[in-house]
Amino acid sequence: MLRGLTTTTFVVDDLSSAVAWYTELLGVEPYFVSEADGTPAYIEFRIGDFQHELGFLDARFAPWRGTGTDVGTALTYWAVDDVEAAYERLLALGATPHQDVTERGAGFVTASVVDPFGNVLGVMYNQHYLDTVASTKGA
């Protein structure tokens, strides 16, 4: 069910400062910016040999805040082929909902649960992940 790690998202209170710090650390500019209410809400870098995604979400836009599932400040997504099926299986195994299946844009669908031990586990259909896997098979 889990293909590999695809995206890690850190929730931050000061998005611009976090992005400036990580730009300096990583030596690359973010490749993606999503806005909400006319201001940056989510910024993402692609890093490393496999172009893993490292994202930063402004805490004001964390959809799980205030829902009773305020767990942690980071969320790691595992690549899956079918988010709905993976989400339902996790719930059947005793996990509780954290965030329902959500379309994030073309080629990106996410969901997350809290496992029976209090950890947030995210699953994602991620076209970038699949493209990267395909490119390494031809190398």
Domain-by-domain residue ranges, the chain? 4-137
What span, in angstroms and rounded, lies between the C-alpha atoms of 39 and 58? 10
42 and 34 Cβ atoms separated by less than 8 Å: yes
Catalogue the E-assigned strands of 24-128.
Answer: 32-36, 39-47, 52-58, 74-79, 96-105, 108-114, 120-126
What span, in angstroms and rounded, lies between the C-alpha atoms of 3 and 86? 11
Asked whether the predicted pLDDT for residue 70 surpasses 80, the reply is no
Assign domain 4-137 to its CATH superfamily: 2,3-Dihydroxybiphenyl 1,2-Dioxygenase, domain 1 (3.10.180.10)
| pTM over the 0.95 mark | no
Q: pLDDT at position 62, please?
A: 78
What span, in angstroms and rounded, lies between the C-alpha atoms of 89 and 37? 35
Summarize pLDDT for 19-42 with one digit per residue, the tens.
999 999 999 999 999 998 899 999
